[in-house]
């Protein structure tokens, strides 16, 4: 018996994927793609209109599988270019083979349609099609048997086991592979008797309309709920439907309703058998300057959830993203990630509690991070995808091929609660993994600190972490410290009333909402400006005084490279003021003074012989090492191209003169500076020092 399906509303004229009907003005087409089998039939049951069918074959463009790319309509089928002006008709349209399609409609009289006309016409399109029961593909049948057997054997070998189905990053697309994944999970679940299913987020690519995204998400949720066990979801960065699609972003309330989250926020926990508490954390906020990470109020909530639990509780933490940037290619910093780990480590240090593991997706790769007191485990993507670039260091990426067992990828997480052991039984591409969650010493902070201390080439943040935050501002300096900078470079000038302030240009125009020269502003007027032009997400950001910056520097171990901006405006007493302030703040031994005005550096040395000064320059200087040595400078600060002079670095080092190079942003250039053996790289991107 054929079924009737009502089609949806459409979009006007040109379709986003480029399917257009030449010389057919006023036509409209469905936003959605529909599935047809051989023999499926369409009929337009209204006078005054004609319709045509844009046919999309099952052929896939492999760039979406083998490179980092998202098809802008979440469509992995291929347009057959079948439409012509003559394609419009009134009678039945019968599909000759399986395909996807969109329906185009226009008026017979050629008059442009309004959306209401299109909706009315579509409401009278009859679509006769019966979707068959999904059959398990032969390439998966043996894998299903082996997976069920592996779960059975493990469950029988331990006395207290928790069984979870764990998947991440489905990224639903038209003509994708979700139907196979869903069928395979359902088959295994029949025998495995899971305690729950966990989805670690990124249900879709988040690039189409809210209505279509809702349909895709509900399809995935419905398929997983058919397994007859509880389904728990943690949200991914695509799940707010923001990805290149901000006009269709979901509100928090819409997200909660769509993904069926319990509680008052996007974070929640569930207590299940044997004193196990599963905690689900959201880890993305597109409106914040650092989008990946965790809010401070989340950490307060997490502490309460952990330390209010009964004695003997074991915790499983689920998040779409990792807690550390080194585990995530896409983030230079996980907001409050270390603070999150601090809370978990504090909990795991208590005798009455235990963290079983932290599980995350997002990286589309496998990895077990063992430097915390509990395992931190990355789950690969269920999406059919295989490319090895744009991945964190040391992860494993499995080859994926359609119509083979490697097309699929998800895990059965089996936890031996008494034996403190967990096993991940892989379905599809990849191998089984296992590890202990017995408590051990946490070493990740010690290792990070040791790595920083052993750097042969130090890294200074140019105007702070100016690649990610407003330059020469407190947010940029604080971010540089969080990213592990050895020092910061900043620029100082004087206000009209003689106060040292931190800003690069002699005018405020480029970085602020004001105009005019810095030296013509009093401090009060200057502080009324906002300097967030390139990073509006930071909100109101003020030009800091040098004293304000120094007060922060005292709380860190960072060096300061203070550039005196006095090569165009010869600020009176600037040298005296900065020396006095450094002495007052107890930072004299941590400040290096530099300027393009080399006479100013001579003056600094005359005023304070112990001061460290550096000659800053952009154009080549003949025998720069001799020149620097003559004036007793601590270092030279050449623009990067000046390091290409033969043996420049070696000659300076032979004279005991350090080489601090600016501004080195590209990864290849950073590598070259390391090979040359420079002492310091000054960069906008502190995180790149670890390449």
Q: Which tens digits make up the pLDDT trace of 23-63?
A: 445 667 777 888 888 888 887 777 788 888 999 999 999 99
Give per-residue pLDDT as tens, 293-325.
999 999 999 999 999 999 999 999 999 999 999
Rounded to 5 degrees, what angle do the CA atoms 456, 648, 665 make? Answer: 55
Please tell me the predicted confidence (pLDDT) of residue 585.
Answer: 97
Task: Specify the pLDDT at position 106.
Answer: 81
Active-site residue among 35, 364, 462, 598? Answer: 462
Task: Give the mean pLDDT of the chain.
Answer: 92
On the question of pLDDT at 125 being above 80, the answer is no
Q: At what angle do helices 598-607 and 574-584 cross, to 10 degrees?
A: 50
Q: What band does 338 get if pLDDT is binned at 50, 70 and 90? A: very high
pLDDT of residue 92: 84
- Average pLDDT value for residue range 137-148: 97
**CA–CA separation, 507 and 344 (whole Å):** 47
Query: pLDDT value at position 134?
Result: 83
Query: pTM higher than 0.85, yes or no?
Result: yes
Taking CB atoms within 8 Å and a gap of at least 24, the contacts of 399-407 are: 399/429, 400/65, 400/429, 402/60, 402/65, 402/177, 403/137, 403/139, 404/139, 405/139, 405/140, 405/142, 405/143, 405/429, 407/139, 407/177, 407/180
Q: What is the mean pLDDT of residues 216-228?
A: 97
Residue 22 has pLDDT above 50, yes or no: no
Residue 615 has pLDDT above 70, yes or no: yes
> Cβ neighbours of residue 437 under 8 Å, at least 6 residues apart?
354, 355, 356, 357, 374, 375, 420, 421, 422
Count other Cβ atoms within 10 Å, centred on residue 152: 13
Strand order in the sheet with 41-44: 93-94, 41-44, 125-128
What's the pLDDT score for residue 417? 94
Q: Write down the number of H helices and E strands in the chain.
A: 17, 30
Q: How confident is the model at residue 497, as a pLDDT?
A: 97
362 is catalytic: no
Take residue 58 and report the two structure tokens written for it: 């099952």
Q: What is the pLDDT of residue 8?
A: 45
Query: Mean pLDDT across the stretch 128-137?
Result: 77
pLDDT tops 50 at residue 19: no
What are the DSSP calls for 609-633, one per residue?
Answer: TT-EEEEEESS--TTHHHHHHHTT-
Residues in the chain, total: 691
Tell me, yes or no, if 129 is annotated catalytic. Answer: no
Residue 408 φ/ψ, nearest 5 degrees: -100, 160
* Closest to 379 measured CA to CA, from 200, 236, 233: 200
Mean pLDDT of 337-359: 98
Tens of pLDDT, residue by residue over 151-188, are 999 999 998 899 999 999 999 999 999 999 999 999 99
Contact (CB, 8 A) for 460 and 684: no
Q: Which of 320, 504, 598, 637 is catalytic?
A: 504
pLDDT in tens, 386-418: 999 999 999 999 999 999 999 999 999 999 999
Write down the pLDDT at residue 83: 86
The answer to whether residue 128 scores a pLDDT higher than 80 is: no
Q: How far apart are CA 429 and CA 177, in angstroms?
A: 14
Q: What is the percent of the chain where pLDDT is above 90?
A: 82
pLDDT (0 to 100) of residue 17: 40
Strand order in the sheet with 276-281: 268-272, 276-281, 314-319, 354-360, 376-378, 367-369
């Amino acid at each position: 018996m054929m079924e009737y399906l009502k089609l949806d509303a459409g979009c006007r004229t040109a379709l986003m994927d480029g399917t257009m009907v030449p010389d057919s003005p006023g036509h409209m087409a469905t936003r959605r793609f529909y599935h047809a089998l051989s023999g499926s039939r369409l009929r337009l049951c209204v006078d005054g209109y004609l319709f045509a069918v844009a046919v999309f074959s099952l052929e896939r463009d492999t760039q979406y599988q083998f490179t980092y790319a998202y098809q802008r309509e979440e469509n992995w089928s291929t347009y057959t270019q079948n439409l012509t002006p003559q394609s419009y008709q009134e009678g039945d349209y019968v599909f000759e083979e399986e395909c996807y399609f969109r329906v185009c409609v226009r008026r017979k009289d050629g008059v442009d349609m309004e959306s209401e006309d299109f909706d009315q016409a579509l409401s009278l399109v009859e679509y006769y099609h019966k979707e068959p029961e999904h059959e398990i593909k032969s390439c998966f049948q043996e894998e299903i048997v082996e997976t069920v057997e592996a779960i059975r054997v493990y469950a029988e070998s331990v006395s207290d086991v928790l069984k979870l189905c764990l998947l991440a990053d489905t990224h639903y697309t038209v003509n994708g592979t979700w139907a196979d994944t869903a069928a395979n999970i359902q088959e295994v679940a029949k025998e495995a008797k899971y305690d729950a299913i966990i989805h670690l987020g990124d249900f879709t690519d988040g690039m189409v309309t809210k209505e279509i995204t809702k349909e895709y998400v509900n399809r995935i949720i419905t398929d997983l709920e058919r397994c007859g066990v509880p389904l728990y979801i943690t949200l991914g960065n695509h799940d707010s439907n923001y990805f290149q699609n901000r006009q269709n972003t979901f509100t928090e309330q819409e997200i909660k309703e769509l993904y069926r989250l319990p509680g008052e926020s996007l974070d929640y926990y569930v207590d299940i058998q044997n004193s196990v508490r599963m905690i689900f954390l959201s880890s993305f906020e597109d409106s914040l300057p650092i989008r990946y990470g965790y809010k401070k109020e989340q950490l307060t909530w997490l502490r309460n959830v952990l330390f209010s639990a009964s004695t003997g509780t074991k915790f499983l933490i689920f998040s779409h993203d990792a807690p550390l940037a080194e585990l995530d290619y896409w983030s230079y910093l996980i907001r409050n990630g270390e603070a999150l780990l601090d809370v978990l480590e504090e909990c795991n240090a208590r005798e009455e509690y235990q963290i079983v593991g932290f599980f995350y997706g997002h990286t589309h790769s496998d990895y077990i991070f063992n430097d915390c007191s509990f395992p931190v485990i990355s789950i690969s993507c269920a999406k059919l995808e295989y490319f090895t670039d744009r991945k964190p260091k040391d992860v494993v990426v499995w080859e994926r091929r359609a119509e083979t067992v490697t097309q699929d990828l998800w895990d059965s997480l089996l936890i031996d609660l008494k034996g403190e052991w967990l096993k991940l039984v892989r379905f599809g591409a990849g191998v089984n993994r296992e590890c202990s969650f017995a408590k051990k010493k946490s070493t990740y902070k010690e290792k990070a600190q040791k790595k920083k201390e052993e750097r042969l080439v130090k890294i200074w943040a140019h105007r702070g972490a100016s690649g990610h935050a407003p330059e020469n501002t407190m947010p940029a300096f604080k971010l540089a410290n969080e990213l592990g900078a050895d020092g910061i470079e900043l620029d100082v000038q004087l206000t009209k009333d003689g106060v040292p302030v931190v800003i690069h240009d002699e005018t405020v125009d480029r970085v602020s909402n004001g105009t005019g020269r810095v030296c013509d502003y009093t401090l009060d007027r200057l502080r009324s400006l906002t300097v967030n032009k390139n990073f509006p997400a930071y909100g109101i950001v003020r030009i800091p005084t040098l004293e304000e910056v120094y007060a922060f520097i005292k709380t860190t171990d960072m060096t300061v490279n203070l550039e005196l901006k006095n090569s165009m405006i010869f600020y009176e007493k600037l040298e005296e003021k900065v020396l006095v302030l450094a002495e007052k703040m107890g930072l004299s031994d941590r400040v290096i003074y530099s300027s393009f005005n080399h006479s100013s550096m001579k003056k600094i040395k005359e005023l304070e012989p112990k001061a460290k000064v550096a000659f800053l320059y952009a154009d080549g200087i003949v025998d720069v090492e001799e020149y620097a040595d003559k004036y007793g400078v601590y270092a030279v600060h050449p623009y990067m191209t000046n390091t290409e002079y033969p043996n420049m670095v070696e000659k300076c080092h032979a004279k005991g003169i350090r080489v601090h190079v600016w501004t080195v942003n590209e990864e290849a250039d950073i590598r070259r500076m390391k090979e040359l053996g420079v002492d310091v790289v000054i960069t906008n991107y502190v995180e790149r020092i670890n390449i």
